[in-house]
Chains A and B, each alone.
Chain A
Amino acid sequence: MEALTVNQVTKRYTNHLALDQVSLSIPKQTIFGLLGPNGAGKTTLIRIINQIINADSGKITLFGEPLEPKHIGTIGYLPEERGLYKKLKVGEQLIYLAQLKGLSRKDAIEKSKAWIKKFEIADWWNKKVEDLSKGMAQKVQFISTVMHEPRLIILDEPFSGFDPVNAKLITDEILELKEKGCTIIFSTHRMETVEDLCDHIALINKSQKILEGSKKQVKETYRSNTFTVEHKGAFSLPSDTYELVEQKNTEDTYFKSTVRMKGSESPNRLIRDLTEVTEVHSFVEKIPTMSEIFITLVKGGSDE
């Protein structure tokens, strides 16, 4: 079963189309990267999933059921623009936010105490949020996102404002939550995060979804039959089947070359041909990074 499906969702604001027939399906217990440049419509989509705003048309299901107000407690949401009540104490704040998500007061107290202990911030219980540093407040906010045990967690740029130590803490926490069965949606620009954590991705550009799939599939789709070869002695290859993208002299007679195969033949053919013209030291397929795919697609899109 899918954790979340978005079917043909469209949202129009007065003078622009924020989402144009966007469909997504997010498998259960995965970390799903929702990517896209600024203004692509990610926040609008996230707000629709959180039922902050309504879509003009289209359907959304959550764990097989049509999305309804009763699902509010099933979702945990960390918005990109972080915010807490500045004058409220950490403890009261956590209890209040959890109660709004539907927890009883007793549960809310119990859970928030457990979480602050886990994050080693139990001393802050009676501190006002305005007295905390930015990183500290972020931790509190993260707790408020997950403490009601949502099955779907939506994190919008979760690592902004965290130092590496705390980023690691949050990453571990996210992975642990996934292990426990949570589905996590990441909205981010940070491609290294996507590369490290995400199982699935979708790319939204200019209100439309232009790419969706598992990370492996996507990379498979965007491999370009390009290989990096380290070798001794320069070479040239017949230009009807190969394109020598680059050949760089590293030291003495050692070179590093990038070769693209024009046909769809096996890499073995290239190796065979290479061994005849040079001494091969290494041979690696050049797989595009998420960042490269992102840039190619978004730039390609804007050229239209």
Chain B
Amino acid sequence: MNKILLIIQREFLNRVQKKSFLIATILLPLVFPALMAILIYVFIQQQENAKQEVVDVLDESGLFTFEDSKKYKYIEISGPLEKAKTVYQEGDHFALLVIPKELEISKPEGISMFTKINPSPSAIESIEDQIETQIRDQKLSDYKIDKQVLENLKTNVSINSINLSDDGKEKSSDTKVLFGLGFGAGILIYMFIFIYGMQIMQGVIEEKTSKVVEVIVSSVRPFQLMMGKIVGIASVGLLQFVIWIVLIGVVSTAIFAMFGIDVNAQQQAIMEANQTGSFASSGAASPEMQKMLGVLSDKFLMMASSFLFYFLGGYLLYGSLFAAVGSAVDSPSEAQQFMLPITIPLLVAYFGLFTFILNDPHGSGSFWLSVIPFTSPIAMMGRIPFGVPWPELLLSMALLIGGFIFTTWIAGRIYRVGILMHGTKVNYKVLTKWFMMKG
């Protein structure tokens, strides 16, 4: 036992003392938000600074009058079409919009736009909108419907979804936020399993190819070495994770502060709102924002603890498999052939998350993916924000624990033989043979 601790410590220090660890751990949470901020900034700048484009309009029907928008300035020109075209070709205007003479309001066909470059969908859409509105207005007056009457018919409904929990407390929920939470957590688990799983595999291959493994296994059991490595890397992952959370917390507080939103006041307001059961509007933030933050703080503990559990469970389950693959091969490139069976269940869970788990978290497909241990870490994280019945959650957790004991057992048996084998051509048959081999 003491020796496993030594190995864990060594594996941990080996990685944490590297410069690359420091860089990845500190820069990643700073780089991503920074990149996002830059992209958003550029996008906004582009929108604001966009110069007004000129659209020539040849309206042969005489039905339309175009209003200049921020993006487009419309200039009416006279026909015929051929002349308009040559004028457009020689000028530097953005587009030439041609509305045919015989345009029927009931069946508006034949409107065309000539451009020198391919216009973006949004450009076409904004012009289409203009025409549609005008046709609508035209129709309204044709049908003798008062615009005001129509306005009054329009109603805007936003359903306030509230969870009624067992103890009768009402909790406001926001499906979009839940969706985001499930999505983010599922993807993170998927990424973490891969990133740290690959680290295990590389570590095992390194020990095997440098031949140091024979010296080590003359001092400790192969299983101790394998578990030491897996747990050592897990602790690196957890440390990294904690640092990221803290950094993201600090950075986002800083950003909130920059935008003049006081997070503490916000939380205060939410607490009060939760207590009284209704949302009192506070000065700075919108009720929407309050509601979102309310959902977040409400789910936080549950999300954080289940994330920790499913991250560790999934990591341990796959980690030992990655170790077994590493032990079987002599180089990372050889490992490719054994990666498929590991990758497939992860991908199934990943795509399941997108396609149906988040849209129908309580469906039978979602249920199965979230209890089968090979897919449950990702699938369950997608479901948890929407609330999972305790029996299902406990079943999934128990199966995951059973699952990683099972894979660790299999992997351990392959590992102990694999690490001492060099230059053998390995396929699944050979792996089975190793697995069956006596001590």
Interface residues of A (CB under 8 A from B): 13-14, 47, 50-54, 56, 69, 72, 75, 77, 79, 81-88, 96-97, 99-102, 141, 144
Contacts and interface: CB of A to CB of B under 8 A. Distances in A.
Nearest to B434: A14
A83 B214 contact: yes
Contact of B215 (A53, A88, A97): A97
Contacts of B220: 100
Nearest to A78: B215
A100 B216 contact: yes
Interface string B205-227: 01100111111111111000000
Contact of A85 (B6, B210, B217): B210
Contact of A52 (B212, B218, B422, B438): B218
B219 A81 contact: no
Main secondary structure of the interface of B (DSSP, over half): helix
B432 to A, nearest CB: 11
Contact of A144 (B7, B10, B215): B215
Interface-centre pick from A14, A77, A79, A141 (highest chain B CB count, 10 A): A79
6 contacts: A13-B437, A14-B433, A52-B218, A83-B210, A97-B216, A100-B216
B6 A100 contact: yes
A224 to B, nearest CB: 41
A109 B437 CA distance: 39
B169 interface: no
Contacts of B439: 53-54
B213 A50 contact: no
Contacts of A52: 214, 217-218, 420
B210 A86 contact: yes
Contact of B218 (A50, A99, A141): A50
Nearest to A73: B219
A97 B219 contact: yes
Contact of A79 (B3, B215, B433, B438): B215
A103 to B, nearest CB: 11
B69 interface: no
B26 to A, nearest CB: 21
A73 B220 CA distance: 10
B216 A84 contact: no
A261 B378 CA distance: 85
A96 B6 contact: yes
Given A77-B218, A81-B422, A84-B210, 17 more contacts: A14-B433, A52-B214, A52-B420, A54-B439, A77-B215, A79-B215, A82-B211, A83-B214, A83-B215, A85-B14, A85-B207, A85-B212, A86-B206, A87-B14, A97-B219, A100-B7, A144-B215
Given A52-B420, A54-B439, A83 B218 contact: no
Interface in B413-431: 420, 422
B214 A81 contact: yes
Nearest to A105: B6
A75 B149 CA distance: 97
Contacts of A85: 14, 207, 210, 212
A77 B212 CA distance: 12
B434 to A, nearest CB: 9
Interface string B192-215: 000000000000001100111111
Contacts of B14: 85, 87-88
Interface in B69-121: none
Contacts of A87: 14
Contact of B211 (A14, A54, A83): A83
Given A54-B439, A100-B3, A72 B219 contact: yes
A89 B420 CA distance: 24
A51 B219 CA distance: 9
User: Which 9 pairs, one residue from A and one from B, show the smallest C-beta to C-beta distance?
Assistant: A83-B211, A83-B212, A54-B439, A100-B219, A81-B211, A50-B218, A79-B214, A77-B218, A83-B210
A14 B437 contact: yes
